A and B are shown apart, each in its own frame.
Chain A
């Protein structure tokens, strides 16, 4: 994976170097924040899974007790009341309400059970006999359903957290293994490219100054040669100094104009 990160398509300029450095800093901060979020969620997640396990065990027990109390009912009533109950069910008395809980920015819904007052579909059930058992059975089942609702909210939280943790971990990994290496690569690339430019510039300057030095040296040598020649001529033929002087000065004037101009008094 890390081999294929590449780099971003930017021009290697100082400005984009600054941008990339900022980006890297941002990515590192984001990474550490997400990591912490993921840890907090995972902690919560483990807590929830443990509670789910417990609640499932508890549910097994509670449902057993409830089933037993229903058996008591059918014994007391002396017949099947299932049909009667199914037919008389009209309005839910036992309802749930969803609330939200915030765990590091993730909204987890929790169900809360409540009973709708004034609704009773089974007022006449067990009127003949077994009314007391039915009453007890209802209470038992109501408690059992409360356990079930609790379990349901744990389970919902479990599913949502599972999903969220996956997403967060994916982001953490993406930042850690793709974005940060790529930004680092880009910074490296920009740096090397800038260094290269620096070297090129330095070399160019060196070349230019070398050329200038060579030119100056050549000019110096020429002047020197001219002077020597003049000295020799003067030494050999001192009678006509003016003509040679004119000649030399003409020669020099073509080379280095400014310095020698004052000597042109002869004209």
Chain B
């Protein structure tokens, strides 16, 4: 897979799908970006218990497929669980999908799609 320069030279933002606390914290770090007014796309999505799975799915597709300026997509692990299928089937190198722990849900390496692949490669 030849990752040509054009595919990732434009990518300079991080995106988040997470619960309110994670998103707040990451926004404080300064990763939040809203595109120019006509579309005004945010690069973060706050998910709470009332958020529909289809909405998460749509945001995930948007960040991974449609937007070409996102280099890394951070997603809370418990949210990734809800759209596990999409996360597991997404295998492109860009953007890098990273599962992060949240405050209420400690990190479980067993569920991480990349770590699962690592484990499988070493036959564990």
Number of interface residues of B (CB under 8 A): 52
Q: Is the pair B29, A52 in contact by a Cβ cutoff of 8 Å?
A: no
Given known contacts A97-B12, A98-B71, A148-B98, A141 and B107 CB-to-CB distance under 8 angstroms: no
Q: Is the pair A141, B96 in contact by a Cβ cutoff of 8 Å?
A: no
Q: Give the Cβ gap from B63 to chain A, nearest Cβ, in Å.
A: 13
Q: Is the pair B21, A82 in contact by a Cβ cutoff of 8 Å?
A: yes
Q: Give the Cβ gap from A43 to chain B, nearest Cβ, in Å.
A: 14
In the bound complex, CA of A178 to CA of B88 (Å): 34
A132 on the B face (CB < 8 A) = no
B100 on the A face (CB < 8 A) = yes
A138 on the B face (CB < 8 A) = yes
Q: How many A-B residue pairs have CB under 8 A?
A: 162
Q: Which residues of A79-129 have CB atoms within 8 Å of chain B's CB atoms?
A: 81-82, 85-86, 89-98, 100, 107, 109, 111, 115, 119-122, 125
Residues of A within 8 A of B32 (CB): 85-86, 89-90, 92, 121
Which residue in chain A gives the minimum CB-CB distance to B107? A60
A89, A149, A152 pick with most chain B CB within 10 angstroms: A89
- Interface of A, secondary structure class, is helix
Q: Which residues of A140-161 have CB atoms within 8 Å of chain B's CB atoms?
A: 141-142, 144-145, 148-149, 151-153, 155-156, 158-160
Q: Is the pair B1, A63 in contact by a Cβ cutoff of 8 Å?
A: no
Q: Is the pair B72, A53 in contact by a Cβ cutoff of 8 Å?
A: no
- Interface of B, secondary structure class, is mixed
Q: Give the Cβ gap from A121 to chain B, nearest Cβ, in Å.
A: 7
A56, A91, A107, A144 pick with most chain B CB within 10 angstroms: A56
Give 1 or 0 for each of B44-73: 1 = CB within 8 Å of chain A CB: 101000000000000000000000000110
In the bound complex, CA of A109 to CA of B96 (Å): 11
In the bound complex, CA of A91 to CA of B31 (Å): 8
Question: Across chains A and B, which 5 residue pairs bring their CB atoms closest together, nearest first?
Answer: A89-B32, A93-B30, A141-B29, A92-B33, A152-B96
What are 28 A-B pairs at a CB distance below 8 A? A49-B122, A53-B118, A66-B25, A70-B103, A82-B23, A85-B27, A85-B28, A86-B46, A89-B27, A93-B30, A94-B30, A95-B12, A96-B12, A98-B9, A98-B11, A107-B3, A111-B72, A121-B30, A121-B32, A138-B30, A141-B25, A141-B26, A144-B29, A145-B14, A152-B72, A155-B114, A158-B117, A159-B114
Residues of chain A touching chain B, judged by Cβ–Cβ distance below 8 Å, are 49, 52-53, 56, 59-60, 63-64, 66-67, 69-71, 81-82, 85-86, 89-98, 100, 107, 109, 111, 115, 119-122, 125, 134, 137-138, 141-142, 144-145, 148-149, 151-153, 155-156, 158-160, 162-164, 167
List 9 additional A-B contacts (Cβ < 8 Å) besides A92-B33, A134-B28.
A52-B118, A56-B112, A67-B22, A86-B46, A90-B33, A96-B13, A121-B30, A137-B28, A155-B114
